[in-house]
Amino acid sequence: MRLIQNMCTIAEYPAPGSAAADYCLGAAGRRLVKIAVVGASGVGKTALVVRFLTKRFIGDYERNAGNLYTRQVQIEGETLAIQVQDTPGVQVHENGLSCNEQLNRCIRWADAVVIVFSITDHKSYELIGQLHQHVQQLHPGTRLPVVVVANKADLLHIKQVDPQLGLQLAGMLGCSFYEVSVSENYNDVYNAFHILCKEVSHKQQPNSTPEKRRTSLIPRPKSPNMQDLKRRFKQALSAKVRTVTSV
Ligand X SMILES: Nc1nc2c(ncn2[C@@H]2O[C@H](COP(=O)(O)OP(=O)(O)OP(=O)(O)O)[C@@H](O)[C@H]2O)c(=O)[nH]1
Q: Could you tell me which stretch among 53-61, 103-111, 191-199, 210-218 binds ligand X (CB under 6 A)?
A: 53-61
88 binds ligand X, rule: CB under 6 A: yes
Q: Could you tell me which stretch among 61-69, 105-113, 139-147, 227-235 binds ligand X (CB under 6 A)?
A: 61-69
Bridge partners (DSSP) of residue 179 are 150
Give the nearest distance from C-beta 42 to ligand X in angstroms.
5
Size of the site for ligand X (CB under 6 A): 21
192 binds ligand X, rule: CB under 6 A: no
Return the residue of 43, 99, 115, 197 that touches ligand X, per CB under 6 A.
43
Q: Are 86 and 227 in contact (CB under 8 A)?
A: no
- Nearest CB to ligand X, comparing residues 21 and 92: 92
- Nearest CB to ligand X, comparing residues 60 and 101: 60
152 binds ligand X, rule: CB under 6 A: yes
Share of the chain residues as helix, strand and coil, in percent rounded to the nearest 5: 45, 20, 35
- Nearest CB to ligand X, comparing residues 82 and 90: 90
Cα separation, 176 vs 192, whole angstroms:
8
Give the nearest distance from C-beta 91 to ligand X in angstroms.
10
181 binds ligand X, rule: CB under 6 A: yes
Cα angle 161, 165, 170 (rounded to 5 degrees) comes to 125
**DSSP states of 59-96:** S--PSP--EEEEEEEEETTEEEEEEEEE-PPBEEETTE
How many residues in the chain? 247
Cα separation, 105 vs 139, whole angstroms:
11
Residues in touch with ligand X (CB under 6 A): 41-47, 59-61, 63-64, 88-89, 151-152, 154-155, 181-183
